[in-house]
Amino acid sequence: MSMKISVPRVWREIKAHYLLEATVCNKCGKIHYPPRPICDNCGNRNLFRRKLSGEGEVLTYTIQYIVLEGYREYAPIVFAIVKLKEGVKILAQLTDVEPENVKIGMRVKAVLRKICEDENIGLIKYGIKFKPV
Ligand SMILES: [Zn+2]
């Protein structure tokens, strides 16, 4: 069995997530995260890069007790839709909080954390999680 992993692609994604980089349309002002080269609102191709604050609040959340292999050490996992100050909504894991203490409207900020581990190929993925402020 062969397996292909695009290492440059993985690192690009990690970088974008780490930097919380978005693209902003210079015509209609729509913010795209993850970054897109073309505005999906007005079709404009003239977008500029902007770093998001990483600060926001929990809009809604769900607790997952049964999780995929590679994520088990983190179970149960709390997934939340976080609305950033800029208005962008991000689906991400919450960290540093017990599931029973998560509340809608809770203020959170982004931190870089290990997302999962694939023991078969020794790959560790990092990404953004949100922790209470
Ligand atoms: Zn636009």
Q: Using the predicted structure, report yes or no on whether residue 23 has a pLDDT greater than 90.
A: yes
Cα(43) to centroid(ligand 1), Å: 6
Least confident of 7-21, 39-53, 68-82, 95-109: 7-21
Sign of CA dihedral 105, 110, 112, 117: positive
Domain membership of residue 1 (yes or no) is no
Residues 6+ apart with CB under 8 A from 127: 14, 17, 18, 92, 112, 113, 115
Least confident of 14-23, 24-33, 50-59, 111-120: 14-23
DSSP track, the chain: ------HHHHHHHHHHHHHTEEEEETTT--EESS--SS-TTT----EEEEE---EEEEEEEEEESS--TT-GGGPSEEEEEEEETTS-EEEEEB-SS-GGG--TT-EEEEEEEEEEEETTTTEEEEEEEEEE-
Q: Using the predicted structure, report yes or no on whether residue 2 has a pLDDT greater than 50.
A: no
Domain membership of residue 12 (yes or no) is yes
Number of domains in the chain: 1
| pLDDT confidence of residue 10 | 53
| pLDDT confidence of residue 121 | 67
Its domain, for residue 18, covers 7-132
Cα(36) to centroid(ligand 1), Å: 11
| pLDDT confidence of residue 1 | 43
CATH number of the domain that residue 39 is part of? 2.40.50.840
pLDDT for 35-90, tens place per residue? 899 999 999 999 999 999 999 999 999 988 877 777 777 778 888 999 999 999 98
**Mean pLDDT over each residue of the chain, to the nearest integer:** 83
Cα(24) to centroid(ligand 1), Å: 8
CB of 32 closer than 8 Å to CB of 24: yes
Cα(32) to centroid(ligand 1), Å: 10
Residues with CB under 5 A from ligand 1 (ion): 25, 27-28, 30, 39, 41-42, 44
pTM, to two decimals: 0.75
Q: Using the predicted structure, report yes or no on whether residue 18 has a pLDDT greater than 70.
A: no
Cα(41) to centroid(ligand 1), Å: 5
| pLDDT confidence of residue 115 | 73
Better-predicted residue by pLDDT, 32 or 73: 32
